[in-house]
Amino acid sequence: MPKAQETILEIDLNALKHNFEYLKSKVSKNTKVLAVVKAFAYGSDANTIANYLQDLNIDYFAVAYTSEGVALRNAGIKTPIMVLHPQAVNFKTLIDRCLEPCLYSAKVLNEFMASAQDQKQSNYPVHVKFNTGLNRLGFWENDVEYIVQRLKATNAVKVKSIFSHLAASEDLSEREFTINQIKTFKGIAESFSRQIGYQPLLHMCNTSGILNYPEAHFDMVRTGIGLYGFGNSKEEDKNLIPIATLKSIISQIHLIEKGESVGYNRAFISERTTRTATIPIGHADGIGRQYGKGKGFVTINNKQAQIIGNVCMDMIMVDITDIDCKEGDEVIVFGKQPSATEFSKSANTISYEIITAISQRVKRCFIGN
């Protein structure tokens, strides 16, 4: 692949296909797979990722907000799209674009039913979320009877699925808690289906749930971070390939004398003669200030170069004293090696945060099929 000549996010579609096929191999052939493509497909490119997965016959997509679903429809996505956190102000648009809302509270349930009735809908597909322990969004177990009564009062909507979300599926020390979540959800599902008179799809597993709790695969599984190459464990990370590599170049090299400073607020004072490289990427591109002052690093010619001083809006400076390099050389921030997981650990955070933070001003380039 060609060397970078500017700051780019290189996205490997072959890696995406590998991850999708690996995760799909973990579930039965009758279990549907939902791809979570919210937040620009975890900081990559939602339109391209979704179209590629649609060609691979993905069963469902999920986004956080209606606007994300509209963007996918505008990009040619025909596959069903679930909106995980819909807001009432967008219900008309949601229906107009054939997006499927997740209903998680009495307020949202009643508001969406009223909107669907106003727009003369019949059996419009909705998804009902139950809270089994994450305590973020969702109805409670004892809300089943109320929900069913409300749903039976109209033919404007019909429940396509009921679902919940595992709170700690990647942490096997919390297995007892997770098993209790699964048990609670099974009870909710049985009660709901019996009272409503039909069987909606059931889904509960995220990526770590797919890998660690096959007993909870049910009718569909949801995968987000796994598609993008992260398995939430060292063992599973070996089976997945990060799809995104953040690259840049060396813009300029400086020779800093002992006692001289680098960057804003003189955050770095050289203790020796030091060679530094300035790289055109900064906190406006997603590399936050927490990576400065020697915490974060980049890779130049297979060697780590520590970020020195404060991260600037558009630039970082790194120590290349012991690295043989020149202006114009390629710089790897993260990718397959080192991964976003390794990079993010330097600032005590997680891969999710760094990959979703990459600014839309960073050019996206695609390789593979």
Residues 237-264 pLDDT 10s: 999 999 999 999 999 999 999 999 999 9
Let me know: does 80 contact 54? Beta carbons within 8 Å: no
- Average pLDDT for 109-116: 98
- Average pLDDT for 23-45: 98
| Percentage of residues in the chain having pLDDT higher than 70 | 100
What kind of fold does domain 244-367 have according to CATH? Answer: Lyase, Ornithine Decarboxylase; Chain A, domain 1 (2.40.37)
Contacting residues for 257 by C-beta, under 8 A, at least 6 apart? 270, 273
**For this structure, is 146 an active site residue?**
no
Does the structure show a pLDDT above 80 at 79? yes
Task: Give the global pTM.
Answer: 0.95
pLDDT in tens, 177-191: 999 999 999 999 999
Does the structure show a pLDDT above 80 at 1? no
The average confidence (pLDDT) of the chain is 97
309/4 Cα distance (integer angstroms): 25
- Average pLDDT for 156-177: 97
Per-residue model confidence (pLDDT) at position 2: 75
Residue 216: pLDDT band with limits 50, 70, 90 = very high
Per-residue model confidence (pLDDT) at position 93: 98
Q: Which of 17, 26, 32, 38 is catalytic?
A: 38
Residue 369: pLDDT band with limits 50, 70, 90 = confident
Domain map of the chain by residue range?
13-232, 244-367
10/362 Cα distance (integer angstroms): 10
**For this structure, is 264 an active site residue?**
yes
- Average pLDDT for 287-304: 96
Report the 10 Å Cβ neighbour count for 186.
16
User: How is 320-343 classified by DSSP, letter by letter?
Assistant: -TT----TT-EEEEESSSS-HHHH
What kind of fold does domain 13-232 have according to CATH? Answer: TIM Barrel (3.20.20)
Residue 232: pLDDT band with limits 50, 70, 90 = confident
- Average pLDDT for 213-225: 98
Does the structure show a pLDDT above 70 at 94? yes
Q: Which of 264, 293, 295, 345 is catalytic?
A: 264
Per-residue model confidence (pLDDT) at position 276: 98
Report the 10 Å Cβ neighbour count for 195.
14
